[in-house]
């Protein structure tokens, strides 16, 4: 079982790769809308990547209003 730190790190790496961000530039507390300059639809694309990576289902409602990686990691962790 992953720790929350591992989950967070993996999410940051996935987001970096998916949105072609500068490596190691993302932090857990970052607001991903602001930091990555993405909109709500692009955020949904990230969710699909997370589902495939962690082999979980993340209903849309679970991530309603979530905008930072830390909270996102908590939501993922609760479903692992």
Partner 1 sequence: MLDLAKYSSLGEAIRDALEIWPREVCLYESDRGDEKQRLTYRDFKDRALPLARWLQDSGFSAGDRASIIMTNQSKWLISAFAVFYCGGVLVPLDYKLKPEEQWKLLKHSGAGVLITEYPIWRQLGACGGCANAPNVKVVLVTEAPPNADLGDAIRWESAESDRRPAFVPRRRQDLACIVYSSGTGGTPKGCMMTHANYLEQCVALTAWYPFWPGVKYLSILPTNHAIDFMVGFIGPFTCGAAVVHLRTLRPEFVREAFAKYKITYVSLVPLVLKNLQKGLQARFDELPPRKRRIFEILRRINIEMTRSRPILPLSRLLLKQVHDAFGGKLNAIIVGGAFTEPQNLQFFYDLGIPVANGYGLTEAGTAITVNDLKPFRADTVGKPLPGMQVRILNPDGDGIGQVAVRSKTVMAGYLNEPELTAQTIVDGWLMTGDMGRFDHRGHLQLFGRKKNMIVTEEGKNVYAEDIEQAFEGLAVKEFCVFAANYIWPSRSMVGEQLILVIHLDHGQSFTEALRNEIAARNSRLLNYKRIHGLVLHAEDFPLTASLKIIRVALAERLAQRKREEAILPL
Residue with tokens 């591992």: 6
Q: Return d(Cα 28, Cα 15) in angstroms, integer.
A: 11
Residue 37 interacting with partner 1 (CB under 8 A): no
Select the residue interacting with partner 1 from 44, 53, 78, 80 (CB under 8 A).
Answer: 44
Residue 41 interacting with partner 1 (CB under 8 A): yes
Residue with tokens 């999410």: 11
Q: Binding mask 60-79 vs partner 1 (x if CB under 8 A, - otherwise)?
A: xxx-xx-x------------
Total number of residues shown for the chain: 80
- What separation in angstroms does the CA of 7 have from each of 37, 70, 73? 23, 10, 6
Residue ranges that bind partner 1, judged by CB under 8 A? 31, 33-34, 39-42, 44-45, 47-48, 57, 59-62, 64-65, 67
């Amino acid at each position: 079982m992953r720790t929350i730190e591992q989950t967070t790190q993996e999410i940051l790496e996935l987001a970096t790769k998916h949105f072609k961000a500068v490596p190691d530039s993302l932090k857990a507390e970052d607001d991903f809308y602001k930091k990555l300059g993405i909109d709500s639809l692009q955020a949904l694309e990230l969710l699909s990547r997370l589902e495939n990576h962690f082999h979980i289902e993340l209903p849309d409602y679970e991530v309603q209003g979530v905008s930072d990686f830390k909270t996102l990691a908590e939501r993922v962790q609760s479903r692992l």
